[in-house]
Amino acid sequence: MNETRYIFRMDDITPTMDWDRFWSALNLLNRHRVKPLLGIVPQNGDPNLNCREPHPQFWDIMRTLGGRGLVDFAQHGYQHTLSPKPGRALLKATHGSTVDRSEFAGYSYPEQLSRIMKGRDILLEQGIDTTYFFAPNHSFDNTTLRALRAAGFTAISDGIALYPFKSFGLTFIPQQLWTPRRMLTGVFTICLHTNELRPSNLTTIRQFLRMPITCSSFQAEVDTFKSSPLRKVCNPLFKHAYSGMRTLRRTVSSYREASPQSHFPHNLSPTSEGGPSNMQE
Ligand SMILES: [Zn+2]
For the cut 80, the answer to whether the pLDDT of residue 276 exceeds it is no
Distance CA 255, CA 252 (A): 5
For the cut 50, the answer to whether the pLDDT of residue 262 exceeds it is no
pTM for this predicted structure: 0.84
Rounded to the nearest angstrom, the distance between the alpha carbon of 98 and the centre of ligand 1 is 12
The per-residue b/e assignment along 74-98, b for 16 or more CB within 10 angstroms, e otherwise, is bbbbbbbbbeebebebbbbebbeee
Rounded to the nearest angstrom, the distance between the alpha carbon of 68 and the centre of ligand 1 is 25
Per-residue pLDDT at 239: 76
pLDDT tens string 75-88: 999 999 988 876 66
> 241: helix, coil or strand?
helix
Question: Within 13 Å, how many C-alpha atoms sit on residue 133's CB side?
Answer: 26
pLDDT tens string 103-152: 998 899 999 999 999 999 999 999 999 999 999 988 888 999 999 999 99
> 261: helix, coil or strand?
coil
Domains and CATH numbers, the chain: 4-228 (3.20.20.370)
DSSP-H helix ranges across 180-228 = 199-209, 218-223
Per-residue pLDDT at 93: 52
Dump strand ranges (E) for the chain: 4-13, 37-40, 72-76, 83-84, 101-102, 132-134, 155-157, 165-167, 170-173, 186-193, 214-215
The mean-pLDDT minimum among 10-24, 60-74, 121-135, 162-176 falls in 162-176
Distance CA 46, CA 49 (A): 6
Percent residues over pLDDT 70 in the chain: 81
Question: What is the separation of C-alpha 147 from the centre of its chain, rounded to a whole number of angstroms?
Answer: 19
Rounded to the nearest angstrom, the distance between the alpha carbon of 114 and the centre of ligand 1 is 19
Q: What is the DSSP letter of 271?
A: P
Rounded to the nearest angstrom, the distance between the alpha carbon of 185 and the centre of ligand 1 is 27
Per-residue pLDDT at 250: 65
